[in-house]
Amino acid sequence: MDFELNEAQKKLQEAARDFTDREIVPAARENDINERFPEDILQKMAPLGFLGALVPKEYGGAGFDYISQAIILEEVGRGCSSLRTILSVQLSLVEYSLLKWGTDEQKDKYIPGLCNGRLLGAFALTEPGAGSDAASIKTIATRKKDGWALNGSKTWITTGGRADVLIVFARTSPEEGHRNVAAFIVEKGAPGFTTKEIKGKLGLKSANTAELFFENCLLPPEALLGAEGEGFKIALSALDNGRFGVAAGCVGIIQACVEASVKYARERVQFKKPIASFQSVQDLIARMAVDRDASRLLVYRAAEMKNRNLRNTTESSIAKYFASEAAVRAAVDAIQVHGAYGYSNQYPVERYLRDAKVTTIYEGTSQIQKLIIGESLLGVRAFF
């Protein structure tokens, strides 16, 4: 496969890099410290097509391919992982699910607003007792003559407290199991729907994360996304896309670690010479560069398969597993290059580590990714 970027992709990369350096990087530290949601930066992304990268132009999107989406998420992730996480949810989970599973009416109602920044989306699958075991969700949807009633709760939902439109998963039967799961579109302000922001996170501090509560939350019949028993299938297809987005963002974290470490190593003088001349420092930075290139190629492989509409569950899991673990390694090494200064928020590398760690957990832990990869090789399912 040829992974040389075409001219349009090169121009997009340049635009995304320029936007990140100009708008995202200068605000990232203060947004992190103050746990400030970057609404202003999100709005500036809309005219560039970043909020609707994959969406066809007929719905107000940019009509980009998956390589282009990876480029955007890498560059944004290089500047601020909180912002990249918000963007990933919007693109990879919400817009993707609506495009693939929504009716024409649902697409017309929500997708243009998601692309132009008027609407913010969230994807609500995880519950207090159902993380990796998504089939065991307890939130239940009861059919009424005039629609559905949701009862239950969700947790660790990115942008959950700010979203205007949420895709929420619930069981339609008291019996557990993936065949009884359905997906619903819930709008902000729906009766019986409340949220509570989660504070005290290690990283992603400027990305809103919330608990969601549904108490006889009444939804119209048209709130159902896809067919009644297709919820688990919708969730898995979205997570394939979401893991790809996380992996692309992790490439950005590694690139940021490389850039910060190279700059510091050239400037920091010890024993009367720059530490860039020390073999041990070069070893740390070389490992980052290898992990960056390997991660990017794995992301591009998954992107190319998506562009060709080929099944890519395993390839997306490989990219997510490798890139997320590599991002943590790179951040640890970047702190080591910076020494004591790396332990302070005077430099960005400590934030890179805090933000990188969650990428090995959300949208499927590293352990779950290895089980998915193992199943593809062995033909034996380790769970459900």
Would you please indicate which residues are annotated as catalytic (active-site) residues? Answer: 363
What φ, ψ does residue 208 adopt, rounded to 5°? -60, 130
Rounded Cα gap, residues 342 and 274, in angstroms: 17
Q: Which amino acid is at 193?
A: F
Rounded Cα gap, residues 2 and 265, in angstroms: 34
